[in-house]
Amino acid sequence: MRTPIPLSPWTALTIKQPWAWLICCGPKDVENRTWSYLPEFRHEFLIHASKSLDQKALELFRAHEPKLRKRFGMPALPKTFDLGGFVGVARLSGSFGKDAKLESPWAEPVACRMFLADRRPIPFVPFKGSLSFWPVPVVAMDALRQAGASLPERPCAA
């Protein structure tokens, strides 16, 4: 019989780079998914960078970086991206279907669009991710705090 892994009250969402960086450090305030459901919670969650890079998106961003920096006032894209670990925190402040009108230029016409507020980077901590929102083990939260991430015991609500 396997011993259950103790879980924290935190959840995480794995996102490919450069999208995760654009959420934590840049102007991206909407995460788009093709999910058939809309998340109902309204609290903070951890942003986990996937092990893989969206190379096509990165090439597009690099080609248009001067325009993007001017339009959004965003910092320069990093030369390399952290992959396969926690990179930030955001608060899910709303979920919208494809028919809802959103002002964000990052909103795409997909089934699930999540509006993200209070986005910020945290020190990178390598950790295996998962699909959809997933529960964060206590050991991962301990590693984040040891790395200097200032995170409360429970995620902050809206």
Token match 């409360």: residue?
152
pLDDT at residue 121, as a whole number: 97
Domain ranges in the chain? 18-146
- C-alpha 3/C-alpha 49 separation (Å) is 27
Residue 20: per-residue pLDDT: 97
Asked if the model's pLDDT at residue 151 lies above 70, the reply is yes
Say which range, 58-67, 97-106, 110-119, has the weakest mean pLDDT. 97-106
Provide the pLDDT for residue 55.
Answer: 96
Contacts 24+ apart (CB under 8 A), 144-152: 144/46, 144/86, 147/122, 147/123, 148/123, 149/86, 149/89, 149/122, 149/123, 149/125, 151/10, 151/89, 151/122
pLDDT, position 51: 97
pLDDT digits (tens, 9 = 90+) for 44-57: 999 999 999 999 99
Q: Which of 120, 119, 108, 118 is nearest to 35 (CA)?
A: 108
pLDDT surpassing 80 at residue 4: no
Mean pLDDT value across residues 90-107: 88
Q: Is the pLDDT reported for residue 11 higher than 70? A: yes
Instruction: Answer whether residue 158 shows pLDDT above 80.
Output: no
The structure's pTM equals 0.92
